[in-house]
Chain A
Amino acid sequence: MGMSLQQIVFGVLSIISIISALGVILSKNPVTSVLCLIVTFFTIAGHYIMLNAQFLAVVHIIVYAGAIMVLFLFVIMLMNLNAEIEPQKRSWLKYAGAISGGALLLVLLAALREASVSSLQPGAVEIGLISNLGKTLFSTYVLPFEVSSILFLSAMVGAVVIGKKEGHES
């Protein structure tokens, strides 16, 4: 049975994303974790490109790999976190974490088991391109889109308020 090019690319991307995602939680060094997470974001962006959603892919890279992860790295580097100075967690905390993580996995599995794997409709292939996405966002989903922008604005205002307060105290 021959595999098509898409299947090969999908397989390679998926393997890399699973390995790098495991690297995020298994590595002792926080900087390595962040780098693994960046690799994971890239492979997910690759999946978006395979779904013909180039805009989502590149925005995913800009926002997550380019902005959020830089800030993560910033904080980790400035606080100089590493395996030696990381506080040892109590053992019951580890068990609680494993149990709650396992419960989440169970819920996700139960939800995914019922989901049907539908192939992409020929008309839906173009939906990830930027002009279609823009038209959909500003016509059908204009209210949720604007509401989420207010959410972002409130987060920005909150950050400024916190920053101002600390400036006055010092």
Chain B
Amino acid sequence: MTIDWFFILEKILLISGVLAISLIVAMYSTWGERKVAGVMQDRIGPNRAGFMGLLQPLADGGKLFFKEEIIPGSSNRFLFILGPSLAMMVACMTSAVIPWGDTLTIAGRTISLQVADINIGILYIFGVVSLGVYGIMLGGWASNNKYSLLASVRAASQIISYELAMGLSLIALLMMTGTLSIKEIVEQQRHSLWNVLYQPLGFLIFLVCSFAECNRTPFDLPEAENELNGGYHLEYSSMKLGFYLFAEYINMFISSALMSSLYFGGYSFPYMDSLGLSPNLTTILGTVALFVKIIFFLFFFMWVRWTIPRFRYDQLMRLGWNIMIPLALANMLITGAIVLYRSTH
């Protein structure tokens, strides 16, 4: 068995590139969040570090690195460190199955801008999302603090509840597209209309659930500071706290990429194949189009955060179980009926 070293090198470069871009986008999302908040509240936002405050994320990161690291004496040291590491790792894992672009042809080699086109891409994402709760639960429990524990229990039940509706809304999409590969879903949208036009209700449910899965306002109950003194990361300091906060922004980036790929055509854009450009240029433009869509969704996350107040916990649960899940089931039923009708007529 010969090993294709170029293939391995290509994948290593792609993985490093995707990780670096995820981290940079997450970094500048923190800057973007402050700027958006500034605009919405009629302030300027960060403007001291660098031009338009562009160096602010670096300053924040440096500050977190140099802060004193405190591990509570009565906590379980191993689990206390494992919590933020898991949160960060799980946040970075999803990027492997997202198609960041079509194929590039360089020196006769066709390079796919997707780390792994596995035929169960969507299920892989479910798997990773369902693991995301461990980082929060372990961190909250290992802190040995009542507020942290309460917040992590809240977070876990919130994530489990909304995972169900999210999965049901995706099942309707799968019934329509007939594939579990994200790349194939994007390719289908390239040659017809975007899925959001066929699945508006499914997209709405997916959108609401991704707010809940990312612990973003209006569903940021796990870190409701006025009830819980800060949330599951109450006892954390220094870069461990940074990891938790950063993982949230990476999750936002990944779910924006997912929403763009599943419902908004991913790397495809209108008139993509009729412009008559070279394939490589089309691929690069497609990747740019994907990032424009992602940035729009990131802005949407921030827009909602600075517009809508936080839910109460019982309202959150009622919305999840009594509204989202029945709606997702109805959506599934309607989609199934239409798929059946179209296959018989």
SS of A interface (majority): helix
Chain B's closest residue to A6 (CB) is: B1
A70 touches B134 (CB 8 A): yes
Residues in A neighbouring B79, C-beta threshold 8 A: 31, 35
Among A10-18, A60-68, A109-117, A147-155, the stretch in contact with B: A60-68
Q: Among the listed A58, A67, A70, A77, which residue makes an inter-chain contact with B141, where contact means beta carbons less than 8 Å apart?
A: A77
Q: Does B123 contact A (CB under 8 A)?
A: yes
B137 in the interface, Cβ–Cβ < 8 Å? yes
CA distance A70 to B160 in the complex (A): 9
Would A58 and B120 be within 8 Å (CB), given that A73-B137, A77-B141 are in contact? yes
Task: Enumerate A50-102 residues with CB–CB distance to B below 8 Å.
Answer: 54-55, 58-59, 61-62, 65-67, 70, 73-74, 77-78
Is there contact, CB below 8 Å, between A67 and B130?
yes
A78:B120 contact, CB within 8 angstroms: no
Write the B158-175 contact mask toward A (1 if CB under 8 angstroms, else 0).
001000000000000000
Partner among A5, A31, A62 whose Cβ is within 8 Å of the Cβ of B126: A62
Interface 0/1 of B115-146, CB less than 8 Å to A: 00011100110110111011001100100000
Say if the beta carbon of A142 comes within 8 Å of chain B. no
Q: Does A130 contact B (CB under 8 A)?
A: yes
B126 touches A74 (CB 8 A): no
How many angstroms between the C-alpha atoms of A4 and B160 in the bound complex? Answer: 41
> Is the Cβ of A54 less than 8 Å from the Cβ of B156?
no
Do B123 and A55 touch across chains, with their CB atoms under 8 A apart? yes
- Whether B127 lies near A66 (C-beta < 8 A) is yes
A70 x B123 contact (CB < 8 A): no
Alpha-carbon separation in the docked complex, A62 to B160 (Å): 12
Q: How large is the interface on A (under 10, 10 to 19, 20 to 34, 35 or more residues)?
A: 20 to 34
A-B contact count (CB 8 A): 59
- Would A61 and B156 be within 8 Å (CB), given that A70-B133, A73-B137, A129-B119 are in contact? no
Looking across the interface, which residue of chain B has its beta carbon closest to that of A65?
B131
Closest to B78 in A: A32
What is the bound-complex CA distance between A72 and B160, given in angstroms? Answer: 13
> Is B234 interfacial (CB-CB < 8 Å)?
no
Alpha-carbon gap, A65 to B134, bound state (A): 10
A75 CA to B153 CA, complexed, in Å = 10
Flag if B1 contacts A5 (CB, 8 Å).
Answer: yes
A5–B124 Cα gap in the complex (Å)?
24
B interface residues, how many (CB within 8 angstroms):
24
- Find out whether the CB atom of A130 lies under 8 angstroms from the CB atom of B131: no
B91 at the interface (CB under 8 A from A): no
A residues within 8 A CB of B153? 74, 77-78
Report how far A62 CA is from B131 CA in the complex, Å.
8
Query: A77 touches which one: B118, B120, B130, B149 (CB < 8 A)?
Result: B149
Question: A66: nearest residue on chain B (CB-CB)?
Answer: B130
Please measure, in the bound complex, the distance between the C-alpha atom of A73 and the C-alpha atom of B153, giving whole angstroms: 10
B180 at the interface (CB under 8 A from A): yes
> Which residue on chain B has the smallest CB distance to residue A61?
B127
Compute how far the CA of A31 lies from the CA of B133 in the bound complex, rounded to whole angstroms. Answer: 15
Contact of B120 among A5, A65, A73, A130 (CB under 8 A): A130
- Cα-based distance from A31 to B134 in the complex (angstroms): 12
Closest to A38 in B: B134
Chain B residue at minimum C-beta to C-beta distance from A76: B141
The answer to whether residues A65 and B130 also contact, given A58-B123, A70-B160, A129-B119 and a CB cut-off of 8 A, is yes
B124 and A58 form a contact (CB under 8 A): yes
**Closest approach, in angstroms, between the C-beta of B10 and any C-beta of chain A?**
19
What B residues does A65 contact at CB under 8 A?
127, 130-131
- Measured CA separation A77–B126 after assembly (Å): 24
- Tell me the A132-146 residues at the B interface (CB within 8 Å): none
Question: Are the C-beta atoms of A70 and B156 separated by less than 8 Å?
Answer: yes
Q: Which residue of chain A lies nearest to B132 when distances are taken between CB atoms in the complex?
A: A66
Q: Which residues of B contact A (CB under 8 A)?
A: 1, 76, 79, 118-120, 123-124, 126-127, 129-131, 133-134, 137-138, 141, 149, 152-153, 156, 160, 180
> Which 5 pairs between the two chains have the least Cβ-Cβ distance?
A66-B130, A61-B127, A58-B123, A77-B141, A62-B127
Between A and B, 17 residue pairs with Cβ closer than 8 Å are A4-B1, A31-B141, A35-B79, A55-B120, A58-B120, A58-B126, A59-B123, A62-B126, A66-B127, A66-B129, A70-B130, A70-B160, A73-B141, A74-B137, A77-B141, A77-B152, A78-B153
